[in-house]
Structure 1
Amino acid sequence: MSTPDLSGANWRKSSFSGVTGACVEVAAGFPGMLPVRDSKDPQGPSLLFTADAWTAFIAAVRAGELPDQS
């Protein structure tokens, strides 16, 4: 699998993001994968997740299966 060009990606933050800026941004429009980046460092690295991996991650968050890191 080749790495997609994310230079023209349309990044968006969750509507649940607070004023602290501690959130992630995601970009749609990349079939089968989801680019994710740190909103505080938009020029920094991005992570690519398969659609299945992202769905499993969100399900684990909603189920409270991940440890609290705050």
Structure 2
Amino acid sequence: MVRDGVWRTSTRSGGEGNCVEVAGFPESVGVRDSKDRQGPALTFTPSAWTAFIASTRARQSHTRR
């Protein structure tokens, strides 16, 4: 179950609790709302998550120029 992993909050969240949390599992990556830890979580395949992160980083790099 996704809720049983070690969840991490972004260091950029500023400690406000208004962020998402991410947990890595052998066959999936879980994402949940830090304000509703008992609520639903999304799951992604590791390859889908890697593609999402790569795309996000590429867009951030492009907008910083």
Cα deviation 1:10-35 (Å, max 9, x = unaligned): 2111112124322111112x213101
Establish whether residue 58 from structure 1 lines up as the match of residue 42 from structure 2. Answer: no
Q: CA RMSD in A?
A: 1.7
Unaligned runs of 5+ in 1: 66-70
Alignment match, 1:49: 44
Cα deviation, residue 7, structure 1: 3.9
Q: Which residue of 2 aligns with 1:23?
A: 19
Between the two proteins, what is the percent identity of the paired residues?
57
TM-score (norm 2): 0.75
Report 1:27-38 matches (<5 A). 27-28=23-24, 30-38=25-33
Decide which structure has greater helix share. Answer: 2
In the alignment of these two chains, the number of paired residues is 60
Larger RCO, structure (CA 8 Å, separation 6 or more): 2
- TM-score calculated relative to the size of structure 1: 0.71
